Chain A
Amino acid sequence: MTDPRVRNYAELLVDRCVEVQPGWQVLITAGVLARPLVEEVQRAIARRGAYALTRVVFEVAEVPTRELVWALEAPEELLAELPAIERQTAEQIDAHIAIIAPENTRAGSRLSPERQALLSRSRAPIIKRYLSHELAWVGCDFPCPALAQDAGMSLAAFEDFLYGACLLDWEEEGRRMRRIADRFDAAEEVRIVGAETDVRLSLTGRQGRVDAGRSNMPGGEIFYSPVEDSAEGVVTFSEYPACAGGFEVEGVCLRFEGGRVVEASARTNEDFLLRMLDTDAGARGLGELGIGCNPRITRHLRNTLFDEKIYGTVHLAVGASFPDLGGRNESSVHWDMVKELRGDGEIHLDGELVQRDGEWVGSLA
């Protein structure tokens, strides 16, 4: 029998996350292991009277569907451009449900950083529609052995964890996060202090977004695009590796001046880090400050989708910011890095301590 949680998950994605409307063309991209969820999503889309455009992939080098076997051998000049049909598709879809279910989370590491960077560049013409939420989209995972393995869990334990983090009362979560977001919205300066970390940035004139189960599943974060030239100071991601494109970079340390990364180092894969930062002019800008708020996510899983929502962490993303949140930084990169604040960390808003060691205090207690 199919796990009933799969059907609930599919309905959550279709009904709440992207709110499929009759006549819509809904793109589904999915790893081949996500089959049970793909079939339930197709069924839910059919019932809402919309088209399901399904793209099942094996080893994917870059979203939406650039195959790794192709990216390894294609001439470099083809990598940086999407074929016309794929670009048109991205321009015309009404919604996109992206389901990650890799067989091996490191498969992409076969691809050279140069090729990886070229592929990222191919997304430039379509990334705006996503970042501005001109189209409804959701990114999510389907529990599979590789994700469980990275999370250090059995598949059954990972399923429980994933569905626990996703099948929440999102209305209630939304209300709780809204209260925190209101306080941040009213603030000008955010200061984050932690291990080898003291960074300040401005939110003046910027409004945050509460992700209560819309474009990410699981949701559970409040995020901003900080004022572009405001970030000053150092942040060290000493607790967790930063993951992108099948690479894991440990001990990333970034120093910001005037809103840009002026110094970057890492304990491992530093070369990859530096190359990503040099992808384009915007890759050294700060595109996002996020605050993790999902009460069911308490462990780091080497899986950004979950890790950035760990209750008691913040994350910073280098690269593209969110135009609909006032962000003006453009880049084909958007790389979230998670900073642990539980145990040793503080968030100050205009000088007031609002979070200590991962717990809300003062006016947000």
Chain B
Amino acid sequence: MPDARVKEYARLLVEDCVGVQAGWQVLILAQALARPLLDEVVGEIARRGAYPLTRVAFGGFAGDEWLKEAPEELLRTASPIEAATRSQADCMIVIRAPENTREGADIPAGRRALYQSAMRPSMRAFSSDEKPWVGCQYPTQALAQDAGMTLAEFEEFLYGAVLVDWPALHARLQRIADRLAAGSELRIVGADTDLRMCLDGRRIDVDAGAGNMPGGEIYTSPIEDSVEGIISFSEYPASLAGHEVGGVRLRFEGGRIVEATAETDEAFLLATLDADEGARRLGEVGIGCNPGIQRHTRNTLFDEKIEGTVHVAIGFGFPQLGGANESAIHWDMVKDLRNGGRLELDGEVIQANGGWVGFDG
């Protein structure tokens, strides 16, 4: 029997997250194992009188075999058809359903970055949120394995995090965002961590049921040259493009990473920081607020929303929030604050041990 949650998930994506309208061309990037969800999504789109433009990939959406071997000048220039597809689509749904979360780890980071930079202009309407889009996942064995769960457990976990009352959660997160917007300096204190940054003039955004599914975070792009201090991601590894880097420790001066170390795969960390000038600056600071996510699952989409954590991303910032940092990289790293950590706003503790303090968060 088909899982009723898949149908509900599809409805959420098509109706609530991107709000498909009749006549729209809906770009869908999906990995092949997402088929049950994809079929439901395409059915929803049909019933709403719109066109799906479905792009199913086995690994990465560029085609890993192509990405490995194409000449660099081709990676540098987007295919006009692929670029036009992305810039003309009315909305976009991205569904990841990996067979192996390490697939693609054998593609040099530089090649991937070239391709992503070339595609970025055509994605501008999505990255700036002018057009609706949603990124999500479909439960697979590989995701369950990384999470240390059986597939059935991971399904429970995933649907528990996405099939929630989003309007109610949004209202709660908006109150927290308003509190942050009233302040200036954010300080993150925790194990081997004391990092300060200025949020002046930057818009604080709430992600609760739109661009990411699951949502459940409050985020912004900090003032680029204001970041000072140390942050140690001692609790969880930082994952990107099939790599897992353990024990990342970053020291910032004048907004720039001047010292970076890691316990494992340090070489990948350093190579990524050297991808371009913007890769050594922060593009994002976010606060995880999804009550359905309490465990780390080695899966950034979920981990960055763990209630009681913060994350910072090196690389590109969000122009629509005032962010000015440009880079081909955007790498989120999650820091747990539930064991003795705290957040201060202009010297006042607003969160301690992962719980909000002093206001109705």
Contact = CB atoms under 8 A, between A and B. Distances in A.
A83 interface: yes
B49 to A, nearest CB: 5
B68 interface: yes
Given A42-B66, A49-B71, A70-B46, A83 B79 contact: no
Given A54-B57, A56-B57, A25 B46 contact: no
Interface in B28-56: 32, 35, 38-39, 42-43, 45-47, 49, 51-56
Interface stretch (B84-92, B124-132, B217-225, B244-252): B84-92
Q: Is the interface of B mostly helix, strand, loop or mixed?
A: helix
Interface string A16-57: 000000010100000010010011101101110111111111
A25 B80 contact: yes
Interface string A186-199: 00000000000000
B63 A42 contact: yes
Contacts of B1: none
Given A57-B54, A65-B54, A84-B88, A51 B82 contact: yes
A63 interface: no
A85 B53 contact: yes
Contacts of A154: none
Contacts of A58: 35, 38-39, 56
Contacts of A84: 25, 88
A85 B85 contact: yes
B65 interface: yes
A41 to B, nearest CB: 9
Nearest to B54: A67
A85 B89 contact: yes
Contacts of A83: 25, 51, 53
A84 B24 CA distance: 10
B65 A39 contact: yes
B84 A85 contact: yes
Contacts of A57: 54, 56
B58 interface: yes
B4 interface: no
B46 A88 contact: no
A39 B52 contact: no
A307 B82 CA distance: 36
B39 A69 contact: yes
A86 B47 CA distance: 20
A269 interface: no
Q: Output the residue of A38, A49, A74 with the most chain B CB within 10 A.
A: A74
B357 to A, nearest CB: 50
A73 B57 contact: no
B182 interface: no
B345 to A, nearest CB: 46
29 contacts: A35-B58, A39-B64, A42-B63, A43-B69, A46-B66, A46-B68, A46-B71, A47-B69, A49-B70, A50-B74, A52-B63, A53-B82, A54-B63, A57-B54, A58-B39, A67-B42, A67-B52, A69-B42, A70-B42, A70-B43, A72-B43, A73-B43, A73-B47, A75-B49, A84-B25, A85-B85, A86-B53, A88-B81, A93-B81
Report, nearest first, the 10 A-B pairs whose CB atoms are least far apart. Answer: A46-B69, A83-B51, A73-B46, A56-B56, A46-B70, A74-B46, A51-B79, A42-B65, A42-B66, A43-B65
